[in-house]
Structure 1
């Protein structure tokens, strides 16, 4: 059964991944920019300053270093679905041309992370077509792109709790190994917003679990499975200003063949 699932997923991803994700993103873009196609029901834009504090054990096992980064996030809910994206600039003051980085550790390099996620409603159900594209690059020329195409399911409650699990085929483009089918990715995002007196708090958790990785990818990431996620709490001081603490964790991911954990401290301004 394992081999049947792997072979079937491989055939689908090789023929349809890029096409499916392209259609999802283009459709979402068209809806987003042309009011004739869709009605916007919600939205947000924010910028942030962040400090990622890796644990001492993580630094010893992986060679990573703690760092600061600036970010921007935006999202919108429409009658057709929703779209979300972020852009993070890590070590923003350390950008150098490749020739000037001889002997420099990877942990000291300037890095860019960018992601776009689209969920398109399937009729009036809670099911969605799911598309995700993530890009990572560093100033020494390393990069990775992950494309996910599949399904998600959303649950919203009157209590302030919501959850959205997803499952999709995974295609990877990596500067060390090239490009190809990389198994499947599953996971979830969930959140809960509540008030303590007049203080608004949001609890948030997301996870990405990679399964059935290609041998080439497993060789540089330590295993055929991988985990990447975070659990966070946010205090909304005002409509514009928020403060957050995230517990960040990963295993055989983020460029290290080991378990990694740390905290991210964030100040965020919401427009």
Structure 2
């Protein structure tokens, strides 16, 4: 059975449409992350109105699929500049809709860094109406440097992970759009990690709802609603709106 490429698995934006097997994608996107008051009151300039530029690519074949992106944030501010690297892969299990799943997500700022490795199983399927659905369950291994916060977290196994993704393309008049919604969940996390990372509570989640207007085959614009609860460095809820312009080669 031919598998579809899960190009919607993006640790920060996840804004690409699913591509057919044996396909590839390379794109560059730039925009603004406009975080809400809950985030800005807690993080200050760290989550306020922050620029980003991202290079992302994906490929897939009968063996499996691979997605990766590299993102720079706050490039105009040397004291705040950060980076993000995300690699997501699936290896097909026979002719079924199940896969071996792996993800490596690294986030760095001038005063801290964290790498999350997620290994497990996934299921994905594209339906006749074009709807793509994906579910993955994995173990979570973390390595981090929080020495700026006077913490000596050694890392290691950090509980479990679940993510689900839905995406679909559609038309309004003669205009092409796509919609992606994904949400990931963490549980069973280390108490010291929760204290140093700022997440606070054991169960945490974050996700995005992304509307993309495909103005041409190469040029598209996106509006993303990003949200998190007991995750992304803050106990409780915070959210924001992200605006992006993407060119696909």
**TM bracket, shorter-chain basis:** 0.7 to 0.9
Aligned to 2:138: 168
Q: Which aligned pairs between 1:33-182 and structure 2 lie closer than 5 A? A: 41-63=22-44, 64-96=47-79, 109-140=80-111, 142-176=112-146, 177-182=153-158
Taking the aligned partners of 1:62 and 1:261, their CA distance within structure 2 comes to 12
- What's the secondary structure of 1:178's corresponding residue? coil
Taking the aligned partners of 1:268 and 1:164, their CA distance within structure 2 comes to 24
Return the match for 2:185 from 190, 195, 209.
209
- What's the secondary structure of 1:217's corresponding residue? helix
- What's the secondary structure of 2:171's corresponding residue? strand
Taking the aligned partners of 1:57 and 1:225, their CA distance within structure 2 comes to 19
Taking the aligned partners of 2:167 and 2:36, their CA distance within structure 1 comes to 25
The Cα RMSD (Å) is 1.2
Taking the aligned partners of 2:231 and 2:205, their CA distance within structure 1 comes to 6
Taking the aligned partners of 2:143 and 2:94, their CA distance within structure 1 comes to 32
Q: CA deviation at 1:94?
A: 1.7
1:249–1:262 Cα contact (<8 Å) kept? yes
CA deviations 1:27-70 (Å, max 9, x no partner) are xxxxxxxxxxxxx6111110011100011233124433221110
Report which of the two has the higher share of helix: 1
CA deviations 1:197-244 (Å, max 9, x no partner) are 221110001111001111222223211111111001000000010000
- What's the secondary structure of 2:195's corresponding residue? helix
Select the structure of larger CA radius of gyration. 1
Taking the aligned partners of 2:22 and 2:42, their CA distance within structure 1 comes to 46
Taking the aligned partners of 1:259 and 1:269, their CA distance within structure 2 comes to 32
1:61–1:258 Cα contact (<8 Å) kept? no
- TM-score using structure 2 length: 0.85
Taking the aligned partners of 2:37 and 2:236, their CA distance within structure 1 comes to 14
Aligned to 1:223: 201
CA deviations 1:87-115 (Å, max 9, x no partner) are 1100012225xxxxxxxxxxxx1100000
Aligned to 1:19: none
- Structure 2: 5+ residue stretches without partners: 1-20, 147-152
Aligned to 1:262: 240
- What's the secondary structure of 1:94's corresponding residue? coil
Return the match for 1:239 from 211, 214, 217.
217
